[in-house]
Structure 1
Amino acid sequence: MNIDYFTEAWKKDLSELEDTQQFWNMRADEFNNQHGNKQGEQRRQQVIEFLTSRDMLPADAEILDIGCGPGKYSVEFAQKTKQVTGIDISPKMLEYACENAWQHKLDNVLFELSPWETLSLEECGWQKKYDLVFASMCPGISSSDSLLKMCRASKDACFLSGFVERKDNLRDKLHQAVYGKNPDHRWGKNIYYAINLLWLSGYYPEITYYDNEFDHVWPLDKAVELYSHQLKRMTKLSPVTGDIDDKIAGYLGSIAVDGLVSEKVQSKIAWLCWKV
């Protein structure tokens, strides 16, 4: 299999970007709170230590944080390096990012609203601009072009992390209850494609794996909204309405405890870092 095979196999429908923005706007509150808790802080420090041990966060570095979300990594980087630019598709995520940077009194971090998939490095003047191009669990790295664009934006190093395996037991059971079949899991495909494309493009990523477990707890109405949106995205169907929406609400209502829906997620995550 040559590079054309993986380029063809790994594509993203850009017509989904508006829907993607809506989804991450819905999850901005959750992500800001999640990344601010003890477990989120621990995971973040593991990544910081990993990058520091490889001399990827020198004091004079300029960093691009793709899919920065509420800006937790951007804030960490800005406290250690010269300049940070964070981009995200979600306006609500960036509201939190700006607030978090302000709370730390940082003036060396900028946030921009932009989907990475359609961003032009030439128009932004970002070709070979950044010492580190960083994308942590970023759904925007979803094609050959979006991956190799990271390399074109970097003048030294890149970091990418993503799921290799993931078990969402509640979501899988819900999918079975609503559609009568198990979902087609995509976990691991992006990392598999990324490793092969990097190799075939002349880059040799260091790969590190670690196991992770975390919990989701939502009020019932929020859970119905999120799972409805997720199942629609997973099955590529038109917006979930009517009978299907009722099935989702009914199933989640039957398992809710004191008005809350909980799910434990188990996963294996890969960290890829490489020099350009």
Structure 2
Amino acid sequence: MKNTLNTDYFENLWLNDHPFNDRNADFWNLRAEEFNQSVSKNRSVSNREKKVELFLEKGLINSNSRALDIGCGSGQLAIALAKVVKEVVAMDFSEKMLDYAKKNAKEAGVDNIQFVLSDWENFVLEEPFDLVIASMSPAINGPADLYKMLMACKGSCCLSAFVKRSGALKEKLYSVTDQAFKPQYNIINYIFNILWTKGYLAELSYEMGSYERLLPLEKAREIYPLELDISESPEKIKSLYAFLDQKEKDGFITEIMSQTRGELIWKVSK
């Protein structure tokens, strides 16, 4: 019986599975303030420090290492890495995310981070890095992005993404705007299997948790049409606004999100 579980099989699954439209830099510019606030909390800081400690324990980095953070957001993981490695290159296609990242790095007193405004497709690779990270990054959106990540690395890679994410409010918003809820988060599955077919033995771990998302009503009116992919539908936006107005309390929309993250770590040298 022919084995159909080859690299092409999982590449095609990934290429044909896009439950969410690709979000552009404008979307992440809009979310930069919210994102920066959420990842600046004490628990998030502690988690990043533990992650860097894990990299050290596994021998993935040392004081002479160079690291690349693909889709660095507001720079918190890049900052934690910069405290223990020689150099970090932190790239993002959102100018406002990078503005927060530069500010956070200055406040943290680190000066060994090179910030680059670029998307991953057009990012110029000059030499490979000892550690390449894509932490919850929308930049790795297909097989070509993954293979460029491998090319950028001469040591180890770390990639994380949602495997499950839900919130009662978000599910209700899909219903209110006459849409089916889209719960698929399959990227970790595809990447793990592509790596396996190519001989990379990735370690897979999961992290479960929940957090409170608090948005000013006007900001929620901007963000949710993009998240629900209804920006071109005035009638659906009207229904969304009416529902948000009912749920507003003291000028804010509150949403409790439950999520499971998957993380892959693998060595590029087979």
Q: TM-score if structure 2 supplies the norm length?
A: 0.91
Q: 2:251 aligns with which of 231, 249, 259?
A: 259
User: Any idea what the Cα deviations from partners look like across 1:72-123, whole Å, max 9, x if unmatched?
Assistant: 111111111100000111011011111122223322110111111x135xx5
Q: 1:74 and 2:67 equivalent? A: no
Per the alignment, residue 183 of structure 1 pairs with 181
Answer whether contact 1:2 1:200 (CA < 8 A) is retained: yes
Q: CA–CA distance in 2 between the matches of 1:266 and 1:46?
A: 22
Q: CA–CA distance in 1 between the matches of 2:202 and 2:216?
A: 41
- Which runs of structure 2 are paired with 1:1-276 in the superposition (5 Å)? 1-11=5-15, 19-116=23-120, 118-119=121-122, 123-126=124-127, 129-179=128-178, 181-187=179-185, 189-232=186-229, 239-276=231-268
Q: CA–CA distance in 2 between the matches of 1:182 and 1:169?
A: 14
AA of the residue aligned to 2:263: W
Answer whether contact 1:174 1:248 (CA < 8 A) is retained: yes
Q: CA–CA distance in 2 between the matches of 1:240 and 1:254?
A: 23
Q: TM-score if structure 1 supplies the norm length?
A: 0.89
Q: CA–CA distance in 1 between the matches of 2:176 and 2:110?
A: 48
Q: CA–CA distance in 1 between the matches of 2:234 and 2:204?
A: 45
How much does 1:241 deviate? 4.1
User: Any idea what the Cα deviations from partners look like across 1:163-196, whole Å, max 9, x if unmatched?
Assistant: 11111221111111111x4322222x10010001
Q: CA–CA distance in 2 between the matches of 1:262 and 1:39?
A: 20
Q: CA–CA distance in 2 between the matches of 1:7 and 1:205?
A: 17
Answer whether contact 1:229 1:240 (CA < 8 A) is retained: no
Q: Tell me the matched-pair count.
A: 261
Answer whether contact 1:64 1:86 (CA < 8 A) is retained: yes
AA of the residue aligned to 1:183: F
Answer whether contact 1:64 1:133 (CA < 8 A) is retained: yes
How much does 1:200 deviate? 0.8
User: Any idea what the Cα deviations from partners look like across 1:215-269, whole Å, max 9, x if unmatched?
Assistant: 101111111111111001xxxx6x3342211111111111111121111111111
Secondary structure at 1:258 match in 2: coil
How much does 1:64 deviate? 0.2
AA of the residue aligned to 1:130: F
Q: Which sits farther off after the overlay, 190-199 or 51-60?
A: 51-60
Q: CA–CA distance in 2 between the matches of 1:34 and 1:212?
A: 14
Q: Structure 1: which 5+ residue stretches go unaligned?
A: none
Identical counterparts, % of pairs? 33
TM-align CA RMSD: 1.7
AA of the residue aligned to 2:158: F
AA of the residue aligned to 1:31: F
Q: Which sits farther off after the overlay, 197-206 or 239-248?
A: 239-248
